[in-house]
Chains A and B, each alone.
Chain A
Amino acid sequence: MKVETRTVLPRRFAHRAATYRDPTDLLAVALPIVEHALRRDAPVVLIASPDTERLIAEASGAARTTGGFVCLPAPPDGLRRCGQTVAARRAAQLRELTDRAGPIVVLVEHDLRHGPLDEVAWVEAEAATNIAVAGMPVTMTCLYRKPVSAALVTALRRSHPQLLGPDGAVLDNPEHREPAEVLADHPVAALPVLGPPDREFTFTPWQLTDLRTAVAEIAFEAAMGRERAEDFVLAVNEVATNAVEHGYGTGLWQAWTRGHRVVCEVHDGGSLARPLPGLKLPHPARSRGRGIWIARQLCDLLHVWSDPDGTHVRIESARS
């Protein structure tokens, strides 16, 4: 009977945190994880600064292994305050890798000095990661550099079900909370105000076609190209549909054009049943709940937040 021996890596998402003081300390934490994965031919994904990537690769001799490293590029600067989009993008990248290679090990460097996110977006990003990567065969270890700031302490303690002890042992984290609970205490922040919109109008379900026409026009003005423009129109339509379906039947659409970049916001008076919709791939048997997930795949940024006035979504895309 053939026995499958490569089952030591979890088949579901494992999200762990560890701390380090300096590059030498980081290597001491990371190297055993990397070597353990590479011995089992599991790809190692590094989400870190170029210096850290080089440090780990050289120390582990990754080039001689069959599993190897995959280094994911840092998100662009425009996502510094949008942890949910960073998480959604990473989830898409990790899904592609796991579909191809099976279980993977991910190391994420969390150093505010080099990190892709502003401090305010860290809690959001970690909670969003727990939603977006759930169900994938990914073992992710987040490496936090000491001293850990107050905001990052929350992200570290609340969003990681497991912690790595000083000896590398995996410990259950009693302070871990579900994403909804974390985000109830630390709501998703609004993005910076953009000023008066270039265009805006209120809409009902029967004006969705006018909204699509308006979005197509600004996408054309931004010279986005047909396919990208069609995708952007679809993304905004899905957000607007949610606004009229789950709000109070009307929504407000606003748009800004900045050269080849187009920004839309959709506002409605409803509340969110759960924070950060559209991060988790819906089950194929479900006919609903797929719109925002697809919208997130089709644009450069999709940021959902709520406040006492209702629910707000910003969507951005640019000519590729």
Chain B
Amino acid sequence: MPDTANGVGDTLALTKTVAEISRGDHACVVMDSDEQHWEVVAGYVRHGLARREKVVVFDGERSATPVLRRLAEDRLDVDRIVRTGQLTVVPPDAMTWMWSASTEEIVGLVSATVDDALAEGYPGVRLTNEPAAGRSDRSVGRLGEIDRAVDSALRARPATLLCQYERRHWAGSDLIRLGEQHEVDVVAPALYDDGLLRVTRAAPFCTRVAGEIDFSNRDLVRTMIKKELDQALRAPSPSGQVEVHLESLRFADVTSVVQFVQVAAGFPESHHLVLHGAQPAVRRLLDRCGAAFSGQLVLREADPR
């Protein structure tokens, strides 16, 4: 059986991005890092909200707080969507109960959640949970049984499921078996992800940097931006901009910020380095490192929510 990019081998599964998940899908994703987890779940929530669906996140061991933070970085009014109930975060107690409940009880809970959402007038509901760890009480067999039962109960209902698994907690063979339970594999490609820093492409010549840049990974910044510039210069219709979104950059050390400034200073006059949405601490450091005096560097505030 060939493996997909995620190592989840199911020849019948469709591969989709988070944005391509559609109502009724029962999807799975294998996580390699926390940043990937937050990016995928935030994207799943965001697209559900955009389709006016209700989104229910079952919170787990690691807390949904960073997911909500990522949603805020994605310019969502988190307070509003939580207050209106369109996004519901189920407290960790429910997950703890689920692991000790029978399959029938779990199916009953999930079905009731869908019933309630539809009764509230939502056209559909999205469900997801924190990645399940590969502990003995969460064996592949048990998870598979729950997955099959939930899948049967929700089939033909306007419900979308995203099951998350962390690669580090599971053997490759387990991931293949778990993947076989799902009709959709979700891929979330990154240009770079070392567990501390994740770089993804938002558009041509436009990347998004999430996490932290420090001594352990900062050389990447200069290399990445230079490569982007190189590609931009070779593009048939150059936009004149290399854009980097910093909304989810939570820490950058002095040298890496100096690198941003100095790399921009090396841009040709035809091109600018545009940094979007730097958080206050990064923005202050950019100012301290002379960003205002670099003619080729443009700082743009984050888009309003």
Contact = CB atoms under 8 A, between A and B. Distances in A.
Interface of A: 205-206, 208-209, 212, 227, 230-231, 233-234, 237-238, 241, 244-245, 284-285, 287-288, 290-291, 294, 297
15 contacts: A205-B216, A208-B215, A208-B216, A212-B251, A231-B284, A233-B251, A234-B253, A234-B285, A241-B255, A244-B215, A287-B255, A288-B255, A290-B258, A290-B289, A297-B288
Contacts of B33: none
Contact of A241 (B196, B215, B259, B290): B215
A44 B40 CA distance: 60
Contacts of B255: 241, 287-288, 290-291
A142 to B, nearest CB: 30
A291 B254 contact: yes
Nearest to A216: B251
B152 to A, nearest CB: 43
Contacts of B216: 205-206, 208
B254 A294 contact: yes
Contacts of B259: 287
Q: Is the interface of A mostly helix, strand, loop or mixed?
A: helix
A237 B256 CA distance: 13
Given A234-B253, A234-B254, A287 B262 contact: yes
Interface string B276-305: 000011001100111001000000000000
B214 interface: yes
Contacts of B74: none
The 10 closest A-B pairs by CB, nearest first: A230-B281, A291-B254, A205-B216, A241-B215, A208-B214, A287-B258, A205-B215, A290-B254, A294-B254, A206-B216
A68 to B, nearest CB: 30
Q: What band does the interface of chain B fall in when counting residues whose beta carbon is under 8 Å from A?
A: 20 to 34
Given A209-B212, A241-B255, A284-B290, 10 more contacts: A208-B216, A209-B214, A230-B280, A231-B281, A238-B254, A241-B253, A245-B215, A287-B255, A290-B289, A294-B288
A288 B214 CA distance: 13
Given A237-B253, A287-B255, A209 B290 contact: no
Interface of B: 196, 212, 214-216, 251, 253-255, 258-259, 262, 280-281, 284-285, 288-290, 293
A205 B214 CA distance: 8
A174 to B, nearest CB: 40
Contacts of B196: 209
Contacts, number: 59
Contacts of A231: 281, 284
A96 to B, nearest CB: 14
A237 B215 CA distance: 9
A287 to B, nearest CB: 5
A290 B284 CA distance: 15
A291 B293 CA distance: 19
Query: Among A231, A233, A244, A290, which residue has the most Cβ atoms of chain B within 10 A?
Result: A290
B253 A238 contact: yes
A225 to B, nearest CB: 12
Nearest to A227: B280
Contacts of B281: 227, 230-231, 234
Nearest to A291: B254
B251 to A, nearest CB: 6
A208 B281 CA distance: 17
A290 B290 CA distance: 12
A206 B290 CA distance: 28
Contacts of A297: 288
Nearest to B196: A209
Contacts of A227: 280-281, 284
A287 B289 CA distance: 10
Contacts of B285: 234, 294
Contacts of A285: 262
B258 A241 contact: no
A287 B255 CA distance: 6
A201 to B, nearest CB: 16
Contacts of B280: 227, 230
A291 B285 CA distance: 11
Query: Among B214, B259, B289, which residue has the most Cβ atoms of chain A within 10 A?
Result: B214
A227 B196 CA distance: 22
A192 B51 CA distance: 63
Nearest to B294: A284
Contacts of A294: 254, 285, 288-289
A255 to B, nearest CB: 18
A244 B215 CA distance: 9
Contacts of A233: 251
B8 to A, nearest CB: 29
Contacts of A238: 253-254
A194 B216 CA distance: 31
Contacts of A290: 254-255, 258, 289
Contacts of A234: 251, 253-254, 281, 285
A295 B297 CA distance: 24
Contacts of A206: 216
A287 B281 CA distance: 19
Nearest to B211: A209
Contacts of A288: 255
Nearest to B251: A212
Nearest to A294: B254
Contacts of A205: 214-216
Contacts of A287: 255, 258-259, 262
